[in-house]
Amino acid sequence: MADVRIDALSVTYHGVDADVPALGGVDLTLADGDSVAIIGSSGCGKSTLLLALAGLLAPTGGVVEVGGEPVSGPRLHTSLILQDFGLLPWKTVLQNAELGLKIRHHPVRERRAHAMDALERVGLSEFVHLFPSELSGGMRQRLALARALALDADLLLMDEPLSALDALTREDLQDLLLALWRDRKHTAVLVTHSIEEAVYLGRKVLVMTPRPGRVAAVVDNPGMGESAYRQTEAFYEKCAELRRLLASEGALHVGGVAS
């Protein structure tokens, strides 16, 4: 079970000159197997939220719970996928895919089998002995996904995983993400800059305010998950709705200081 409960989460970074509030009281509840896309301008604390969920950052205040348990460190079945550098350049495709299992001291044969399964699912089984530098951007992201799958993650945290990719590869991987989510029924939290991506992949879309980040609105997106959602009228309307919301959110804070 990977239901998520975030209650009044606040995070303040201790900067060199002054304390920087990154999150100022975020509430979010996700049922097990739900999918949420988080969108907002740069510096709204989206990544901070993910790090807190991953257990890599201690909150300044508030509660983060996954599966009914407070998060106090990396959780066994949570997987964090970063935009870049998440892969280790000195490990081959196979070694990268099985890294999580290796760190958890799984026996070699078992982790190899899990990693091979995962690589198969993302279409990389022919490239196991290459190094990340020999892969295209899309293949690297597939590998990052495979690592999460090999861990049998029930909570996938993704920090703009596709933002460095070209448009076609990006759609391709969005389809893969959707297919995996529908198939595996894991809980997914996706941070993105793209409105279309948020609407395509988030059953809920969370709009955040600039620093310190707060939840400005939660948009329900029941049409998500349908095949060919991208081509429907509903999809365009949802994107337009979100765009209006973001614009008003930006307008609210022009020249103003968020308190």
Partner 1 sequence: MKRTVQKALGYAGAAVFMLAFWEGMSLLLHSPALPVPFDAFAQVVEQFDKLVPQFGYSALRVAAAMAIGLLVGAPLGLILGRSRRADLVFGPLVFLNYPVPKVVFLPVLLVVLGIGNASIIALIAIILFFQILVTARDAARAIPAASVLSVRSLGADRWQVFTQVVVPGAMPEIFTALRIGAGTAVAVLFFSESVAGSTGLGWFVFDAWGRVRYSEMFAGILAMALLGVLLYEAIELAESRVCRWERAGR
Residues at the site binding partner 1, with contacts judged by CB under 8 A? 51, 54-56, 74, 76, 78-80, 82, 84-91, 99-100, 103-104, 130-134, 147, 151
Query: In the complex with partner 1, which residue's Cβ is closer, 187 or 209?
Result: 187
Which secondary-structure segment (H or E) carries 15?
Answer: none
Query: In the complex with partner 1, which residue's Cβ is closer, 59 or 132?
Result: 132
With CA atoms as reference, report the closest residue to 111 among 149, 73, 156, 158.
Answer: 149
For the sheet with 215-220, list strands across it: 78-81, 155-159, 187-192, 35-39, 204-208, 215-220
Phi and psi for 119 in degrees, rounded to 5? -65, -35
Query: In the complex with partner 1, which residue's Cβ is closer, 78 or 174?
Result: 78
Taking the complex as a whole, how short is the minimal distance between the CB of residue 243 and partner 1, in angstroms?
A: 30
Taking the complex as a whole, how short is the minimal distance between the CB of residue 100 and partner 1, in angstroms?
A: 4
C-alpha 2/C-alpha 77 separation (Å) is: 9
Taking the complex as a whole, how short is the minimal distance between the CB of residue 54 and partner 1, in angstroms?
A: 5
Query: In the complex with partner 1, which residue's Cβ is closer, 82 or 217?
Result: 82
- Residue 16 burial class via C-beta count within 10 angstroms: exposed 0-12, middle 13-18, buried 19 and up: exposed
Taking the complex as a whole, how short is the minimal distance between the CB of residue 183 and partner 1, in angstroms?
A: 23
